[in-house]
């Protein structure tokens, strides 16, 4: 999401996240952060960073949406542009075939980008109506793609209001060309991720300041929706211990029972998203406003 909506998001989430900050800080005693480690600034040369996701080698790909680029942070510490004119990509995720899935909200589409940068439009519209603006996504081990579709007005759009009545969460089943709504009860769904066994989906309602968990059924539908924590999130990720990392004002970490176990403060105004990268998947990569950071961890990512 764009820098212009900072104040909107912060005003919605400040209270919940301020409470979280009072209870935890970067703390190696939780067993998740490397001893003595603190977030290290990689660069502060962007407009608004989002959507980090690792490839199979541990390189991290992330977006600078206002500047319409997808960047690559290599395992060797190098920074390079992977794709220019990137469809105003927001959330990213690699599928099992190594294609980079993208929430390309320039034209409210879902993309698949091959290794040689060939773009395939997976979703163009819904029954002839534009999606609100795909924001974040996660692909299950089966290849089903779950994505959130909140409405945030973009400066590059000609329209000034949504064509769809609600802001929903959808699933695009493997091989299908039509997304199907699976959640329509959230105020503004945003961050999304799932467990590596493909059985559980986490979805954040940023406006509602809540994060929910759902059981993923064999047919791709969801059931048994439960409130996980009283905190919304822009982006999120999971580690190999089942801990969930939520973002907004810094990074707040919860165990799989919904108990807060750590808070990682970040200097920037807004922390948009997180992902694990590096050759050992033990580096927490953090996109935060105009900057990106990395933090050494004891735990590893599962993406």
Cβ atoms of residues 241 and 298 within 8 Å = no
Which residue carries 């694990």 as its tokens?
A: 276
3-state secondary structure of 83: strand
Q: Give the pLDDT confidence of 69-98 residue by residue, as tens digits.
A: 999 999 999 999 999 999 999 999 999 999
pLDDT at 79: 97
Tell me what the mean pLDDT of segment 14-21 comes to: 41
Q: Give the pLDDT confidence of 120-175 residue by residue, as tens digits.
A: 999 999 999 999 999 999 999 999 999 999 999 999 999 999 999 999 999 999 99
In angstroms, the CA 190 to CA 202 distance is 10
Residue 179 predicted with pLDDT over 80: yes
Instruction: Give the domains, in start order, of the chain with CATH numbers.
Output: 3-296 (2.120.10.30)
Cβ atoms of residues 223 and 217 within 8 Å = yes
pLDDT at 16: 42
CA-angle at 211, arms to 144 and 99, nearest 5°: 30
16: Cβ contacts below 8 Å, ≥ 6 apart: 209, 230, 231, 232
Q: Give the pLDDT confidence of 187-213 residue by residue, as tens digits.
A: 999 999 999 999 999 999 999 999 999
Q: Which of 140, 277, 271, 235 is nearest to 195 (CA)?
A: 140
- Residues 40, 93, 65, 79, CA torsion sign: positive
Backbone angles phi, psi at 10, to 5 degrees: -60, -40
Q: Tokens standing for 154?
A: 């973009």
Q: How many C-beta atoms lie closer than 10 Å to residue 118's C-beta?
A: 9
3-state secondary structure of 16: helix
In angstroms, the CA 290 to CA 293 distance is 10
Cβ atoms of residues 215 and 223 within 8 Å = yes
What is the total residue count of the chain? Answer: 303
Backbone angles phi, psi at 88, to 5 degrees: 55, 45
Which residue carries 């209001």 as its tokens?
A: 161
Q: What is the value of pTM for the model shown?
A: 0.91
10: Cβ contacts below 8 Å, ≥ 6 apart: 248, 249, 269, 270
Q: Give the pLDDT confidence of 238-284 residue by residue, as tens digits.
A: 999 999 999 999 999 999 999 999 999 999 999 999 999 999 999 99
Which residue carries 């050992």 as its tokens?
A: 280
Alpha helix stretches (DSSP H) within the chain: 6-23
Q: How many C-beta atoms lie closer than 10 Å to residue 208's C-beta?
A: 16
How many alpha carbons lie under 13 Å from residue 209 in its C-beta half-sphere?
15
Which residue carries 């091989």 as its tokens?
A: 175
Q: Which of 279, 284, 278, 287 is nearest to 296 (CA)?
A: 284
Q: pLDDT band at 19, cuts 50/70/90?
A: very low
């Amino acid at each position: 999401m764009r820098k212009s909506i900072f104040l909107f998001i912060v005003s919605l989430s400040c209270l919940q996240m301020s409470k979280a900050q009072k209870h935890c800080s970067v703390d190696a005693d939780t067993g998740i952060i490397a001893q003595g480690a603190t977030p290290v600034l990689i660069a502060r040369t962007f407009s608004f960073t989002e959507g980090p996701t690792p490839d199979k080698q541990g390189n991290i790909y992330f977006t600078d949406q206002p500047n319409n680029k997808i960047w690559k942070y290599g395992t060797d510490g190098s920074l390079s542009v992977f794709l220019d004119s990137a469809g105003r990509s927001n959330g990213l995720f690699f599928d099992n075939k190594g294609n980079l899935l993208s929430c390309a909200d320039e034209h409210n589409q879902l993309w698949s980008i091959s290794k040689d940068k060939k773009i395939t439009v997976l979703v163009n519209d819904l029954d002839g109506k534009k999606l609100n603006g795909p924001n974040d996504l996660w692909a299950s081990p089966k290849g089903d793609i779950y994505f959130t579709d909140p409405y945030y007005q973009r400066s590059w759009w000609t329209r000034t209001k949504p064509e769809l009545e609600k802001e929903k969460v959808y699933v695009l089943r493997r091989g299908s060309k039509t997304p199907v709504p699976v959640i329509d009860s959230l105020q503004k769904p945003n961050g999304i991720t799932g467990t590596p066994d493909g059985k559980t989906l986490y979805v954040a309602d940023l406006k509602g300041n809540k994060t929910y968990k759902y059981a993923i059924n064999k047919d791709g539908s969801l059931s048994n929706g439960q409130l996980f924590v009283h905190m919304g999130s822009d982006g999120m990720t999971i580690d190999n211990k089942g801990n969930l990392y939520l973002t907004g004002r810094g990074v707040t970490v919860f165990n799989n029972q919904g108990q807060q176990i750590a808070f990682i403060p970040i200097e920037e105004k807004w922390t948009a998203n997180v992902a694990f990268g590096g050759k050992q998947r033990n580096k927490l990569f953090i996109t935060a406003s105009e900057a990106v950071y990395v933090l050494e961890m004891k735990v590893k990512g599962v993406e």
